[in-house]
Structure 1
Amino acid sequence: MPWGKTALRHKLINLKARSSGVRGNVDGAQGDALFGWAQLTAEPTRRLRVGLFARGAMLAETVANIHRDDLEAAGIGDGRHAFAIHLSAAIKDLVLANGGQADIKVIDPKSVKIGTWSPVVDVPAPTDAAPSSAATHSAPKPPKPARSDLQNVLYSDAAHLKAALALPASKVQTRAPLPETHAKLFAQTDYITTDATLPDRMYGYTEYIRYRDRLDETFDTAGTPDDIDHFYKRYLTLYSAMRGGLRVPLSAEVIAHLNEPILFGGSVGPFSRIM
């Protein structure tokens, strides 16, 4: 059976990606998520950042670090190279407004295209009336906008902000509740002593890091409150540097605490606590 145009295009994209030292695939969309996987052949255990782009503008990004049994069985590292990109209604609208097709690229450590995706458009049911000449032809794709690199990076956020500002104040959505997993990360539940509560500014994820890195004796956050700030100094300097550019999880309470201005003797002006 001869290759279809879509299948042949995907095959060529994969071949080009492999020649760049990246192997991966865009498996397709299911529900509100786009699934696929990506791996750097020279560093098979590295977790790659993947982005969804429309005409050069990045609309979403994620990390390919999800485990899949089929990848592990196929010898693709330890199997933790899959990704899932959330496809919100706004992202679908942005793709449709920019030609109807998005590129999926590995963006770290280098930009390599691994596939494409197009939203499914609902086609109106045909009527008895004869179709007009305009309806028998596909609408021409809009010209590629002239955007700078910075505009491409900010494009998605700017489009979302523009849409939000256009809504009446009563209809602007408030922040959605945290997903269950995130809620556990930022909960003050002591998961070791389940009937206890963590001290202020400590939460599930930071407590996990404190024990994982064997810092529970170095920083006695429950018994010595000053150790909490010392812990965050290490958390934001040493630990964050180990995450390859990924931001460290911080609660709103901790961010406010670290940004609190402090004035001490001899200083011209206040410094933030973290400084």
Structure 2
Amino acid sequence: MTGWAWRPEEPSERVLVHVFVGGRFFGQGRADIARADLRNIGIGDGGYGFRVTAPFGAPPFEADDEIRVFAVGPRWTELTPPSGGEPSPAEAPIADVRQYLRRTFAAGFWAPPSRAAGARSGASAAACERLVAASPIPGPPPALGRPVGAYLDHVRHKWNVAEDFEPTNSLRDYDAYLRHYLIAYVGGRSPLRVPLSADEIAHLNAGPDDAHPEVPTGARRLFADHFAASASSGDDVLADIHLWAAHHALQFGGEDCLVPECWRERLRAPIDPAVDYPLSPFMASFAAENAFLRTVDTTTVAGRRTILLAIALFAVTTPHLLQYVPARSLDAYLAPDAAGLSPFERDLHDVLPELALDRARWRDAVEASGLVLAEGRFRTLTAAGHRLQAAFVGGAGAEVDVQIIGPFSRRLGVSDSCHMLAAALAKLPITLRCCDHALDHPNARRTDVKLALEPPGPAKINVVHLNLEELPSVFAYFPDVFETAYNVACPYTEVAPPHAAQRLGLTLVDEIWSASSFITETLGGFRPTHTMGTAARATHPLGRAAARREVLDGLVGPDDFVFLTAGDALSGVFRKNPLGTIRAFLAAFPADEKVRLVVKVHSLDKIDPSSPDHRIWQWVKNIVEECDRVVLLDRLLTDREQAALIEGADCLVSLHRAEGFGYHMLEAMVAGTPVVATGYSGNVD
């Protein structure tokens, strides 16, 4: 969640903001991100942006969830009005820190306390560690730079930035790509933990040591211009590294691995070891930046316990804060007395009696993120020092024979194929589990899912029904259900040979099931590949006239000869080639008023306006505006409507440049609709 906040009367101050979703505390952020747009319109020095990352494992937002953002101060200032309403009346002044804690946490947390099912030790994740091995993508030998790990190289090609970044060229180019990965890619994956190899982590943490803690790490150097200068301007080393550890590393999902140990030791060392519940420099800085916590008298035991209580509560959504609490202070604060209650629980019940939270549930919530309280480290780090989310999350539930993983919940061809595969396997005497994976599929949700979709768990065989370029994200962000299973990919590959973004996916599975001989020939040299074929959905013919009225009534005449070309706008306009089909149609029928071409598409509104695809679709729209014989139908259809559309056409045309299989062509043949198609790729079968 991003925005900006500043106090015009105090332009050098960086505002703390609190975010609430559905009334519950979501997280906090420091508004100190440098934004040129603010500076250019005269908003101080422009360093007032904030980004509050979602708590790990937090549920997704719903459309009707109320989101409210407040600047922290004696009188809370709402930055965003309640969703769909007017700004709320001015909040009453908050009298003291107790009232502040009640105001912030009384309604609970957006990340409800729960134990992470199937939590692993983090010691082994062999299948997933292939993500941080050497890249399988062919490339030139390094010049002065360094090769990135397999997953970072995969991302470079999948998201089409390989021509913009070549990390093997020089160390400056290597750093430039790491910066891009940590800003652009991590920003789109929050709160997931993106893969980083041990070498990449070491490079980003290099610089400071015990003798020279003031030296910035590689990561801080990379982002020196990303944040506004702190008030200390480098004079207060502890204050500067506190900002990085508390706020800035969190911006890049690096709170678990991008703070070097020499900094952690300094930040968590007791200021006065002789007192009860000693604070650390981190805790003192954390309190000082908060308008309410800074009023607490920390020379007293009660005051220090108040700071501990506040940090413990914030840690429900940002557990990394606990890494900087002296172990002796935290242990004493959580230790039960003769009555079975800890000081934490007594303080909590005194300040927030309405909050349904005790020591055990609080610990569960914190450790669900992967933080090992007893050790002060995250389980996202493997024994080899790599950062992998799957290293600590295992699948829950009983082992099944076969587990299918794919975009069951989305409206696209691969989803149809997932449902048909599940229906076929369900007829066998096996145990079956179906798991949804819709990451990177912005397609609309299906409303006809009848399968029971379950969280992933242990399986003897995993069938990952996704295209090869999407397989690495499953291994990166799913629970690790792959290490002890036999893993099968079921991709639709459109072009030969496999392109660079598909190479890593090929290394992650044991064999491949293909829908066509084209896919088998394309991938057989990389993994054992078996042509399994596929199926068409059962249809109920309506008759041509009735089928045409079902979808095309008012768009074409009942006696028109109708050519149909169809595809998902998100599948690639160059591959689907609707413009080529329109050109061919106009060349063949330049003036016949009784011949029409229907271009059926959906999701045009989801195309990036800056992309080449958007430009091509604009050309298509221009033709449609000037020629009423070319009809553009841009909407999602139900399965019944889709079948009627194909049955009601006189000819389906698919002048694609490549298809993994071509379901529309198969469905047209089942319906008895003639097909004209490119004689290449999966549809040839």
TM-score tier after normalising by the smaller chain length: 0.3 to 0.5
Task: Using structure 1 for the length normalisation, give the TM-score.
Answer: 0.41
TM-score, normalized by length of structure 2?
Answer: 0.19
Q: Which protein has the larger Cα radius of gyration, Structure 1 or Structure 2?
A: 2
